[in-house]
Amino acid sequence: MNLSEIVSITNMPGLWQIVKKRTDGMIVKSLLDDKTTFVSQRQNMFTPLENITMYTNDEPLELKSILLTMKKVSKTNPPADVKADGGDFARLF
């Protein structure tokens, strides 16, 4: 699965994987619960993750480059385990 197959859909929570494209919309599958549904192009907008850009203080960065950087950094500096922290963040989960 690549970023062009994953979309954000207006008025629908979560991320969705494209199963099939149709002329009047898309058949998509939820990444949260694997439910498949048809979504009309007339009522919703589709944004593939490959088209998302994060605007920073220096320059705009594509989401793909941010995710690749996070993957490289996590090998040498893994993310903190907020559940084991015992601080304020632990209460959120």
Domain boundaries, the chain: 3-49
Q: Encode pLDDT of 75-89 as tens digits.
A: 888 877 766 655 555
Q: Encode pLDDT of 12-43 as tens digits.
A: 999 999 999 999 999 999 999 999 999 999 99
Which pTM was predicted? Answer: 0.71
Q: Encode pLDDT of 42-58 as tens digits.
A: 999 999 999 999 998 99
CA distances from 22 to 7, 9, 13, 66 (A): 15, 15, 21, 31
Q: Residues for the chain: how many in total?
A: 93
Question: Do the Cβ atoms of 89 and 77 come closer than 8 Å?
Answer: no
Residues 4 and 78: their CA atoms lie apart, in Å, by 27
